[in-house]
Structure 1
Amino acid sequence: MELRNLRYFLAVAEQGGFTAAAEQLHIAQPAVSMAIRKLEQQLELPLFDRQERQVRLTSEGEVLVRHARRILQAVQDAEREMRELHTLERGEVRVGIPSMLGSYYFPPILMAFRHRYPGIRLEVVEAGTRKLQQMIHRGEIDMGVIVSDTPPEELETHRFLQAQMMAILPVDHPLAAADNISYDAFFAEELVLFKEGYFHREVIDRISHEAGVTPNIGFETNLIPLIKQIVSHGYGITTLLEMVVIDDPSLVAIPFATPVWLDLSLAWRKGHHLSRANQTFVDLVLEQARPVQGR
């Protein structure tokens, strides 16, 4: 099988049609159709069920999709590793980071990496931890930050930070001077939360389930500055890592009566050989890791 034909086949499968695939690949649609016909003739199997304008994978096509993704990703990995084999003057690191850490933990690390290795292209993707796991699996990023309490079996993880989620309140809130806050007291308030898929939201969903309550969600947004403004003006409370509000005099961070600790790790596909550029980035993150805090 030719790699080009596999690439065209995967594009049709993912885009749901020959025309859409051709547009994505920036080639003429007949070239895509010809490649698929050649692949089907070579395999002596139908890969797509063509009904009027709808194109769907056959069961045989679904099997080939899984292999095609692995094959094309392996080729891409090999090409990148060969380019980077002898030097770190070139290369690429694609890393996914949740917005909270991307804004308040990683900037010094990213700048230090860029300063040490100016020839390496650094692509940073912001997304929730669940989305990042999917992107790692699909090969869209090389690695990502996940909460590693229950890491997926297909990922290799290396912890770099253990941090406590805190209840965040305005300084004039009645509970602002408390040593800690109970789940009951927290969930009695109107909440400002991230959208689903982010570890910030998953913490709330988990502890609300354990407490047997339904959160009273007044605002949903992934914009941290907006969350802080809403809370500081008294329109709700939230949970964040303490690092997010440590320099904000309008907000206070209070631990939960039952502390909520998070183990944050860098993760990549298990069995995947990291390129030199990626391994160098991992080494820097672990080198700069904050000491593990006691529970």
Structure 2
Amino acid sequence: MNLKALRYCVEVARESSFTKAAQNLHVAQPALSMAVSRLEDELGVVLFNRATRQVSLTAEGKLFLARVESCLLGLDGARRELNDLSQRQSGEIRVGVPPMYGIRHIPELLMQFREQYPGIAMHVVEGSAQEIGERLAKRDIDVALLESRRVEPAWESIALGNDEMVLCMSRQHPLSSASSLSAAELQDREMLVFDSTFLQRHLLDVFCAAAKVQYRIALESNFVSLVVAATRSTMGISTLLRSVQEKEPGLIGVSFDPPQFMCFNLCWRSNEYLSLANQTFIETARLFFQQRDPA
């Protein structure tokens, strides 16, 4: 049984298209189609329904490829484990971080990790909690930094630290002198909000909905720097993490009433081999955050 043909089948199933699978794998479509057909002949079953425009798995294909994908993951893990045994100071890490929590500690953590393990290549991607979670699920990254409410039950994780979500405004804003703000204070206020892929937007909406309060959207964006700049320019109020607000001159951070905290975890997929490089990064991150927040 040809291992390459098995990988081809998995990709065709994932994309529901021979054309897209061939493009992703950088092979000619005729060669990919021929390899899949030969495998079907060898197995004596048809794996894909080709009659419609969108390719789909047959019942036999679903059964077969469920096992194949699991086996391929095991083989990839074994290959990476063997590589780790021979090259303990090399390898790569693929990490996903949210744009806001990453501002505070992640650059320093990565610089420290690089100092200790210069032979390990680091690939870091930024995105909303939803995007980072999807990347981890699709195996585009190996480790993700996510708020605890976005960690899937099937993933393994360790807690790193907490941060407070606060209402931010310019010093000139009439609410800037408040010690805390209830949801009622946000009725009809001009808000600068993140889009729905951000957990902060979800928390703000739940907070206001519970009090039957409606704010007005002056700006919606997934661009953190834009929201910070617009807040400073007195366009409206935004929700930022306390750690971010404290580093932004001219921004006042007021706690919600009751306060809204976010707990951040480093997580990875369970029951899959995690390379030594990624294991080392997780341990380094754990110690790094522990030293900054011993409690």
Task: Kindly indicate whether the alpha-carbon contact (under 8 Å) linking 2:145 and 2:264 is maintained by their aligned counterparts in 1.
Answer: yes
**3-state secondary structure, aligned to 1:85:** helix
Q: What amino acid sits opposite 2:16 in the alignment?
A: G
Query: Does the C-alpha gap of structure 1 residues 55 and 149 become closer, same or farther in structure 2, counting only changes over 3 Å?
Result: closer
Query: Does the C-alpha gap of structure 1 residues 214 and 188 become closer, same or farther in structure 2, counting only changes over 3 Å?
Result: closer
Distance 2:89 2:224 in 1: 35
Aligned to 2:90: 90
Q: Which runs of 5+ in 1 are unaligned?
A: none
Aligned to 1:237: 237
Distance 1:62 1:212 in 2: 47
Distance 1:65 1:206 in 2: 41
Distance 1:265 1:17 in 2: 36
Aligned to 1:138: 138
Cα deviation, 1:183-214, whole Å, max 9, x if unaligned, reads: 12134312112222222222223323333334
Query: Does the C-alpha gap of structure 1 residues 4 and 215 become closer, same or farther in structure 2, counting only changes over 3 Å?
Result: farther
**Alpha-carbon deviation of 1:33?**
1.0
List aligned pairs for 1:16-55, cutoff 5 A.
16-51=16-51, 53-55=53-55
**Alpha-carbon deviation of 1:282?**
0.7
**Alpha-carbon deviation of 1:127?**
1.8
Aligned to 1:212: 212
Cα deviation, 1:20-70, whole Å, max 9, x if unaligned, reads: 322222222221111211222333332211126542233333444443433
Distance 1:3 1:215 in 2: 56
Distance 1:208 1:51 in 2: 50
Q: Could you tell which deviates more after superposition, 208-217 or 180-189?
A: 208-217
Aligned to 2:165: 165
Q: What amino acid sits opposite 1:154 in the alignment?
A: A
List aligned pairs for 1:121-200, cutoff 5 A.
121-149=121-149, 151-200=151-200
Query: Does the C-alpha gap of structure 1 residues 20 and 150 become closer, same or farther in structure 2, counting only changes over 3 Å?
Result: closer
Identity of aligned residues (%): 34
Aligned to 2:227: 227
Do structure 1's residue 251 and structure 2's residue 251 form an aligned pair? yes
**3-state secondary structure, aligned to 2:19:** helix
Distance 1:141 1:110 in 2: 16
**Alpha-carbon deviation of 1:292?**
6.6
**3-state secondary structure, aligned to 2:260:** strand
Q: What amino acid sits opposite 1:112 in the alignment?
A: Q
Distance 1:292 1:186 in 2: 35
Q: What amino acid sits opposite 2:263 in the alignment?
A: D
Aligned to 2:284: 284
**Alpha-carbon deviation of 1:97?**
0.4
Q: What amino acid sits opposite 1:139 in the alignment?
A: R
Cα deviation, 1:82-108, whole Å, max 9, x if unaligned, reads: 212244321111111001122232110
Query: Does the C-alpha gap of structure 1 residues 65 and 186 become closer, same or farther in structure 2, counting only changes over 3 Å?
Result: farther
**3-state secondary structure, aligned to 1:263:** strand
Q: How many matched pairs? A: 293
Query: Does the C-alpha gap of structure 1 residues 94 and 187 become closer, same or farther in structure 2, counting only changes over 3 Å?
Result: farther
Aligned to 2:5: 5
- Relative to the length of structure 2, the TM-score reads 0.91
Distance 1:138 1:212 in 2: 38
- Relative to the length of structure 1, the TM-score reads 0.91
Task: Kindly indicate whether the alpha-carbon contact (under 8 Å) linking 1:146 and 1:266 is maintained by their aligned counterparts in 2.
Answer: yes
**3-state secondary structure, aligned to 2:9:** helix
**3-state secondary structure, aligned to 1:99:** coil
**3-state secondary structure, aligned to 1:247:** coil
**Alpha-carbon deviation of 1:215?**
4.2
Task: Kindly indicate whether the alpha-carbon contact (under 8 Å) linking 1:49 and 1:55 is maintained by their aligned counterparts in 2.
Answer: yes
Task: Kindly indicate whether the alpha-carbon contact (under 8 Å) linking 1:73 and 1:139 is maintained by their aligned counterparts in 2.
Answer: no
Distance 1:90 1:173 in 2: 52
Q: What amino acid sits opposite 1:287 in the alignment?
A: L
Query: Does the C-alpha gap of structure 1 residues 69 and 184 become closer, same or farther in structure 2, counting only changes over 3 Å?
Result: farther
